[in-house]
Amino acid sequence: MYRGRLERDLSLWVGKGLLGEETAGALLAEYDSRPASFSLGRVLMALAAVLLAAAVLLVVASNWEAIPRLVRVGAILALIWSVHIAAASMFARGATAAASGLLVIGTMSFGGAISLVGQMYHLSGDEQTVMYLWFAIATISAILFRSGAVVVVAGFLSWASFAVYLENNDTHWIGFDPWTAPVMAVITIALVRYTGAERARHLAYLLLIGWLAWLYTLYEEIAVALAFAIGGMTIFALTALPHPRIASLVRSAGAAPAFYSFLIAVIGLLLLHIEIEQGWRLVVLGVATLAAAVLAIALHGRDNGAVRYVAYTTFAAEMLYLASVTVGSILGTSSLFLFSGLVVALVAWIVIRLERRFSREARA
């Protein structure tokens, strides 16, 4: 899809005399020479690694009662060492897919080793401690081998750790353990930036959103929903600032920060709609929701398709909701649309002024 758009753009630029045909052909050839982002072989290798790792974990879970303890420990340690040594050898040969698969097996085997030792020697501890240690080992492995595949495993382990906490504590907030979920998310994002495993960052952002949603279930107060809406829009606005350091950081992180911060704001606005059902506060909330959608389109709508579609959906849903609330009075509905139109026009005027100001500062 991107190649077709690139080819059309190059043809357009050549037609306008902005680019020579040889240069356009060289640019297209350079793009075609890049390795494909999707490889069926790599996907199948990853699936094979997951299946083999699952087999190892199931064998460990069987407890191997007929096999002596030292033999069991030696076997699992030999497996861990062998797959990591083989992975290093594969990396040296340039066989990245095979090396990544071996690292996935090795990382999963660490979890099996921890469980096996705990079973055999009845060591004190719980599932939560196992998940923390497993995640820490995956993090170290991802750093040592700079492996994006292991970062993905670490991302899923962070989710598993959070799920184990919720199950063991009946979804209540107890002690400092709940803070480990956002900490693991931050570590995963750092690993993504270090290894270049761009798609793994979504695991961290979704974990943060899930953690925030869980916080709301603990309190279910307007203040929490309002914090989501204001905090999300504040971070979203910061991602659009033209400051060199912020702009550079946002570009290196891709479209994810803007999208997920706006998604948090939309979730906060939705929760506020659940809490506020009538009165002047509903009118203010409706106008604020429409303004947030328009602002999102103005700031990131051109370059971020995900933000654009969420903003469109939010705007349309809000208009339909407000119309349904005021449908009993045609005059009331008309007034609502009139007021909303004026607010959107005001937001558009402010955005245009800011764009012109930022453009002048960029040229200065």
Q: What is the structure's pLDDT at 159?
A: 93
Residue that wins the pLDDT comparison between 23 and 252 = 23
What secondary structure, in 3-state letters, does the chain show?
A: CHHHHHHHHHHHHHHCCCCCHHHHHHHHHHHHHCCCCCCHHHHHHHHHHHHHHHHHHHHHHCCCCCCCHHHHHHHHHHHHHHHHHHHHHHHHHCCHHHHHHHHHHHHHHHHHHHHHHHHHHCCCCCHHHHHHHHHHHHHHHHHHHCCHHHHHHHHHHHHHHHHHHHHHCCCCCCCCHHHHHHHHHHHHHHHHHHHCCHHHHHHHHHHHHHHHHHHHHHHCCHHHHHHHHHHHHHHHHHCCCCCHHHHHHHHHHCCHHHHHHHHHHHHHHHHHHHHCCCCHHHHHHHHHHHHHHHHHHHHHCCCCHHHHHHHHHHHHHHHHHHHHHCCCCHHHHHHHHHHHHHHHHHHHHHHHHHHHHHHHHHHC
Residue that wins the pLDDT comparison between 105 and 56 = 105
Of 113-122, 265-274, 309-318, 354-363, the range with the highest mean pLDDT is 265-274
Alpha-carbon distance 177 to 165, whole Å? 8
Mean pLDDT (the chain) is 78
Distances (CA, A) of 264 to 119, 190, 249, 283: 42, 21, 20, 21
The region of weakest confidence among 1-5, 172-176, 339-343 is: 1-5
Of 55-59, 65-69, 135-139, 292-296, the range with the highest mean pLDDT is 135-139
**Does the pLDDT of residue 293 top 60, yes or no?**
yes
Q: What digits encode the pLDDT tens for the residues 260-284?
A: 999 999 999 999 988 887 777 888 8
Of 231-235, 277-281, 300-304, 352-356, the range with the highest mean pLDDT is 231-235
Average pLDDT estimate for 8-26: 76
Average pLDDT estimate for 238-246: 71
Average pLDDT estimate for 85-101: 82
Q: What is the structure's pLDDT at 39?
A: 54
**Does the pLDDT of residue 209 top 80, yes or no?**
yes
Q: What is the structure's pLDDT at 38?
A: 46
Residue that wins the pLDDT comparison between 191 and 301 = 191
Residue that wins the pLDDT comparison between 226 and 250 = 226
Contact yes or no for 256/278 (Cβ under 8 A): no
Q: What is the structure's pLDDT at 239?
A: 82
Alpha-carbon torsion, ordered 276, 179, 127, 185, to 10 deg? 90
**Does the pLDDT of residue 208 top 90, yes or no?**
yes
Average pLDDT estimate for 203-224: 90
With a CB cutoff of 8 Å and minimum separation 6, the contacts of 327 are: 333
Residue that wins the pLDDT comparison between 179 and 115 = 179
